[in-house]
Structure 1
């Protein structure tokens, strides 16, 4: 099985980045690849052995799917490892570069249905949406 890597640098403190990446209320605000999509529901039992289920849907309700799996390893502000329900493994690393700059690196096992460049583009789009959400987040209360 081959791996694909996507990475991005986010200009905010690590604690905020970690919170936005792991809290279900935040996830619902950023877990989609384009503005034509949204995440109407995110269930996140964020502990080793805990499950997650993020619903991604087109806003026109034409198509949607669940992104589901189990957390295998969690080291706060450092690493999250999980496996998807199809067995593919994913690891996410948070590398502090400065006090207000973090490189987020995702390595994931490629699936067989889509070309690698399409998978990389999709995962990067979600990561870029996350970056935009975090960098524009001003400690507001999420409803």
Structure 2
């Protein structure tokens, strides 16, 4: 079976790129926004934000019935512009931060995994990035 084609989700945050970058990359902040809906949460986040550094984010439903770890290694970092990483299963992802004055577009492109239906992965990822926008604009 061929690998699924990468897809992109994005949002535009009403905040300067320096603030958006900080909120996206700081573990204490990640734990506040890294969930697709109110019945999910991120009880743990670690990030060694440097090329070759590792990350691990725990995402689970608040009732504990469903959960997973999202972990891997950063492969390329350009502060305030780009984060590229390789997930522990070998899939890749790139997050672009596009500054436009007091607005920043965050666009994440990644290779989906094969086990979960693509539409569910697109919904989940878009919901997480939308939750990030809500969190960042409220800070």
TM-score normalised by L of structure 2 = 0.94
Distance 1:10 1:93 in 2: 13
- Structure 2: runs of 5+ lacking an equivalent: none
- C-alpha deviations, 1:20-39, integer Å up to 9, x for none? 00011110111111110111
Q: Is the 8 A contact 1:30 1:126 kept in 2?
A: yes
Q: Work out which of the residue numbers 47, 57, 63 in structure 2 matches 1:44.
A: 47
Match of 1:135 in 2: 137
The structure 1 segments of at least 4 consecutive aligned residues displaced by more than 4 Å after TM superposition are none
Residue 57 of structure 1 deviates from its aligned partner by: 1.5
Distance 1:100 1:13 in 2: 4
Match of 2:7 in 1: 4
RMSD, matched Cα: 0.9
Q: Work out which of the residue numbers 82, 92, 97 in structure 2 matches 1:89.
A: 92
Q: Is the 8 A contact 1:4 1:116 kept in 2?
A: no
Match of 2:118 in 1: 116
Q: Is the 8 A contact 1:7 1:124 kept in 2?
A: yes
Distance 1:106 1:46 in 2: 17
2:83 is the alignment partner of 1:80: yes
Residue 112 of structure 1 deviates from its aligned partner by: 1.1
TM-score normalised by L of structure 1 = 0.92
Residue 8 of structure 1 deviates from its aligned partner by: 0.7
Distance 2:60 2:136 in 1: 21
Residue 120 of structure 1 deviates from its aligned partner by: 1.0
- C-alpha deviations, 1:42-94, integer Å up to 9, x for none? 01111111111101121112221111010000000000000100100000000
